[in-house]
Structure 1
Amino acid sequence: MDRRAWVLAWSFVALMFVGFWSYGLFDLDEGIYAAATAEMLRDDEWVMITLRGQPFLEKPILVYWAAMAMLKLGIPGEAALRLPSVLATIGTLAMVAGFARRRFSEEVGIWSMLILTSSALFMMLGRMFTPDALLIFFMTAAYLSFWESLEGDWRWRLATAATLGLATLAKGPMPVFVFLALVVYVAWRIPEMRPRMRKGWVIGTMILFGIAATWYVPAMLRSDAFFSEFIVKQNLGRLQGTDTVHVWPMWSYLPVVLIGLAPFSFMLVGAWRTCRATDLEKYLWA
């Protein structure tokens, strides 16, 4: 494949983002996050997320920092609020395409990007003012850099730690536990990688906690209810179904993902049967 194929692929990506600034806030979360952002910007508040003058600790700070930075740059309205998600989604596409190109082929790189761009759920999140696109970007960076650390230089693991730290600023501590599950999976399914997993954990943990502490520590010092509200209710409580706003049973996420990533999600069964031979393929299935 030549440069023209990449130009066409990226043109398709660009086309999918046309008009992200042209419609009003339509989702409940978008409206709530926008109101909190406006309040913080009015008060020049960069630590404590507030809504109607009260601490609002549903999600961490990163999505607000990103939106406030765009507004400070003079970008107007919905464009400023959604631009971080757009940029994060483009970054995710670039990472996935680049990784697939290096590890497989030019053709696989282009198709991986086109498949993601054609997935309604992925692109919908990329055009909304929510933390999800930022989370996807940093988790993708963490997973891909971790593989690089296993196959090459262990210092890639420091990038894994940094991006996990940013993921906790985007969505909470859950990404760390998901990553630890991935580590256990790798040790179990790809045992030859175990000797390559030994370095970098102490300094990586320090990097992760150092990045997360830029908001978690001052927010905890500012609000006595931080632990009970953010950690217990908004993170642990959601696993127990205590969220009364987003009333979704756990099983409902499966059809949402299958439909949101259609038609390619329905090809997973065939891929599962044929694409588990190499260590990289086993890793990517995780």
Structure 2
Amino acid sequence: MMTTRQRYYWLAAGVLLYALYYLFPIDYRLLWQPDETRYAEISREMLATREWIVPHFLGLRYFEKPIAGYWINALGQWLLGDSNFSVRFGAIFSTTLSGLLGCWLAWSLWRDRLISLLSGIIFLSAFLVYGVGTYAVLDPMITLWMTLAMCSFWWGAQATTPGGKAGGYLLLGVACGLGVMTKGFLALAVPVIGVLPWVIARRRWGEVLRWGWLSVVVAVLVVLPWGMAIARKEPDFWHYFFWVEHIQRFAMSNAQHKAPFWYYLPVFILGSLPWLGLLPGALRLGWKEQHNDRGALYLLGWIALPLLFFSIAKGKLVTYILPCFVPLALLMARYVVVVVRAHTPRALKMLRANGYINVLVGMVGSIAALALAPVFYSRPPLWDVPELYKCFLALLAFMVWGLMGWLATRNVARRWPLAVLCPLGVALVFGLAVPERIMASKTPQQLIALTREPLQESRYVLSNSVGVAAGLAWELKRSDILLYSSRGELQYGLSYPDSEGRFVTAHEFAGWLAQHRQEGRISLVLRIDNEAQLESLPVPDNRYILGRMALLEYLPQ
């Protein structure tokens, strides 16, 4: 058992690490398109228009997701203003709460403060969790609701009084309802299939049938007010959202983001860094303890069934399996505490192996940073010569990873926690070390900062990229950015009659320009592969090029 002094030490270390990972480096990372700029702009428009029912993106109807995630993002911008951190507030807030719920569940299972605290630390420092949890997408929020659902079911299942069971199943319904309002009906997949192995093995069907109706009723009541409101304002929403965003995306042959069945295997493995060495032992110990009442089978089902479900689905994204990392963190924490307390050479071997894995990651990253440096790489380098300092920062970050891994192999029984410091260097320097050629392509804020005055004075602003258009709208605080040449994900919103004039084809542009140029300055912001793409366009009065982004300025005539 931990002493009071040890508990305070671990708590203080956890708070400091949390600040270094999740607070300090977030604001100086520019927003990446298309995801971060999209969610930033949708929530900004929600605050500006006070339209809390129907999501709009660049002033157009946007029915790809329900409303709750945008509410959370809008809350971040309302509380913290216009900043990169405020855009990512929803993801960070949700990831943090998911980690705290994991700590609660670990305490409920094992009544061990060290396992409980380590569960949160391992979860928040896992590579996939950190990467997605500090990136402005909706998956951290759906992970929060699914974690709350799984914790609520466990609470209800372990309760010995009718009031306790009612409370657990009621909260389960709230979590499922909020999940549906954040990302749709697939939010129900994790809690429904995740509990199946435990329910079947423990023969708890009768209890689930007796109390499950309460969860269903509560979930319906959570969704119903907004569901009826948007059906009244936009009758086509539910048809589009269910058919296109659910059936087509996940099951049909033309699903988005198609990937093979094994896609999530490397994601799961690499996402477990810097704790990858604990993965085999954690799963083995969980399987060994599946027959006891401490919930090992519950955690294994929570990992395996959603992972299988998303592997079968046609459309796949890295972020979909984020909810699986909460139970994985609990199993890893349980395993590492058992190993450390056993203190046998065989038991500590896996901890040492984890350290050597991190040494290897640090070495590979360092070698890659050196090999891609402009002084060694003969082809167009990842970093240009003026960016040697970025190459040095990347090298330093991976050297820290390797060094922490090596230190963790020395006196492994005491130093194994140093693994949590391995990704810290990457987390701190990522926003500063990204090569300019990538920044110029993925972060429109750079070009906007250099050309803000002509952009702000433009009567019309057009872009051939939805992500870039979203960045322009968020930075300039205007939702009337026009789309040029490509409709992208806004094809459905542009199909409405009241959206006429919001899209200009490449063929129409010269005539459109001649007609509208007399109204004021026109700015065309493009993502390009090379400058030759600009030759077919009317000659601009001014031209600015930054990497793969270009601004063509047409003055009034």
TM-score (norm 2): 0.48
Alpha-carbon distance, 1:253 to partner: 2.7
Once the 2 structures are TM-superposed, how far is the Cα of residue 204 of structure 1 from its aligned partner? 1.9
Q: 1 CA distance for matches of 2:264 and 2:229?
A: 34
Which letter maps to 1:180? V
Q: CA deviation at 1:27?
A: 4.0
Relative to structure 2, which stretch is displaced further, 9-18 or 196-205? 196-205
How far 1:16 moved relative to its partner? 0.9
Query: Residues 231 and 266 from structure 1, CA distance in 2 versus in 1: closer, same or farther, beyond 3 angstroms?
Result: farther
Encode CA deviations 1:202-228: one digit per residue, 9 max, x unaligned: 232111011122332222222233133
The one of 100, 111, 116 aligned to 1:94: 100
Hey, what's the Cα distance between the residues in 2 that align with 1:229 and 1:198?
32
1:60 is aligned to 2:53: no
Question: Using the alignment, how far apart are the partners of 1:62 and 1:213 within structure 2?
Answer: 13
Is 1:160 matched with 2:166? no
2:119 paired residue number: 112
Aligned to 1:32: 38
Where 2:143 maps in the other structure, the secondary structure is helix
Residue 129 of structure 2 is aligned to residue 122 of structure 1? yes
> Does the 8 A contact of 1:154 with 1:196 survive in 2?
no
Conserved in 2, the CA contact under 8 Å of 1:233 and 1:242? no
1:221 and 2:236 correspond: no
Structure 1 residues not aligned, in runs of 5+: none
Give the counterpart letter for 2:271 in structure 1. Answer: G
Q: How many residues align?
A: 284
Distance 1:180 1:25 in 2: 35
Q: Is the CA contact (8 Å cut-off) linking 2:94 and 2:140 kept in structure 1? A: yes
Q: Distance in 2 between matches of 1:59 and 1:130?
A: 11
Q: Give the Cα separation in 2 of the matches to 1:265 and 1:233.
A: 37
1:26 counterpart SS class: coil
Q: Structure 1 stretch 193-202 or stretch 229-238: which is displaced more?
A: 193-202
Shift in alpha-carbon separation, 1:254–1:85, aligned structure 2, 3 A: same
Q: Which runs of 5+ in 2 are unaligned?
A: 302-557
**2:33 and 2:278 mapped to 1: Cα distance?**
30
1:272 aligns with 2:283: yes
From the superposition, tell whether residues 239 and 6 of structure 1 become closer, same or farther in structure 2 (CA, over 3 Å).
Answer: same
Which of 162, 180, 185 in structure 1 is aligned with 2:197? 185
Supply the distance in 2 between the matched residues of 1:146 and 1:102 (Cα, whole angstroms): 12
Q: 1:249 to 1:230 in 2, by over 3 A?
A: farther
Structure-2 residue corresponding to 1:4: 9
Question: Which of 143, 152, 155 in structure 2 is aligned with 1:148?
Answer: 155
How far apart in 2 are the matches of 1:265 and 1:216?
42
Q: 1:210 aligned to 2:221? A: yes
Greater mean deviation of Cα atoms: 137-146 or 201-210: 201-210
CA contact (8 A) 2:39 2:73 kept: no
Question: Looking at CA atoms only, which structure, 1 or 2, has the larger radius of gyration?
Answer: 2
| 1:205-255 CA distance string (max 9 Å, x none) | 1110111223322222222331332111111211125344x4544532332
Does residue 134 (structure 1) correspond to residue 149 (structure 2)? The answer is no
CA distance, structure 2, for counterparts of residue 206 and residue 115 of structure 1: 35
How far apart in 1 are the matches of 2:259 and 2:283? 28
TM-score (normalizing by structure 1)? 0.90
Structure-2 change in CA distance of 1:194 and 1:10 (3 Å):
farther
Contact 2:170 / 2:214 at 8 angstroms: preserved in 1? yes
**Cα offsets for 1:170-211 (capped at 9, x unmatched):** 1111121332223432332222x3444343322321110111
Q: 2:101, 2:148 within 8 Å by CA — same for their partners in 1? A: yes
Residues in 1 aligned to 2:30 and 2:43: alpha-carbon distance in whole angstroms: 16
In 2, Cα distance between equivalents of 1:220 and 1:120? 40
Q: Does structure 1 residue 13 correspond to structure 2 residue 18?
A: yes
Deviation at 1:142, TM superposition (A): 0.7
Q: Deviations over 1:249-281 (max 9, x none)?
A: 453233223212224355433333322322411
3-state secondary structure, aligned to 2:41: helix
Give secondary structure in 2 for the equivalent of 1:73.
Answer: helix
Secondary structure, in 3 states, of the residue corresponding to 1:154? helix
| 2:51 equivalent to 1:45 | yes
Structure with the larger RCO, 1 or 2 (CA within 8 Å, 6+ apart): 1
User: Hey, what does 2:269 align to over in structure 1?
Assistant: 258
- CA shift in 2, pair 1:50/1:242, >3 Å: farther
Kept in 1, the 8 Å contact 2:96–2:124? The answer is no
Label 1:69 to 1:275 Cα distance change in 2 as closer, same or farther (>3 A): closer
Question: 2:181 and 2:244 mapped to 1: Cα distance?
Answer: 17
Paired with 1:154 and 1:196, the residues of 2 have a C-alpha distance of 10
User: Contact (CA 8 Å) 1:169, 1:212: kept in 2 or not?
Assistant: yes
Task: Please identify, of 269-278 and 103-112, the stretch whose mean Cα deviation from structure 2 is larger.
Answer: 269-278
Conserved in 1, the CA contact under 8 Å of 2:173 and 2:215?
A: yes
Structure 1 runs (4+) deviating above 6 angstroms are none
SS of residue in 2 equivalent to 1:109: helix
Contact 1:85–1:126, Cα closer than 8 Å, also in 2: yes
**Structure 1 stretch displaced more, 264-273 or 89-98:** 264-273
Between 63-72 and 270-279, report the one with greater CA deviation.
Answer: 270-279
Alignment of 1:69-84 (within 5 A): 69-84=75-90
Q: Deviations over 1:123-170 (max 9, x none)?
A: 122112111111111111110110111111212111111111111111
Higher mean C-alpha deviation, range 143-152 or range 20-29: 20-29
Question: For 1:71 and 1:184, how far apart are their aligned partners in 2?
Answer: 39
Matched residues in 2 for 1:108 and 1:122: separation? 19
The residue type equivalent to 1:164 in the other structure is C
Q: 1:80 to 1:261 in 2, by over 3 A?
A: same
Deviates more, 1:2-11 or 1:139-148: 2-11
Greater Cα shift, 51-60 or 86-95: 51-60
Among residues 197, 211, 217, which one is paired with 1:200 in the alignment? 211
Report the more deviating stretch, 248-257 or 12-21: 248-257
Q: C-alpha separation between the residues in 1 aligned to 2:201 and 2:34?
A: 41
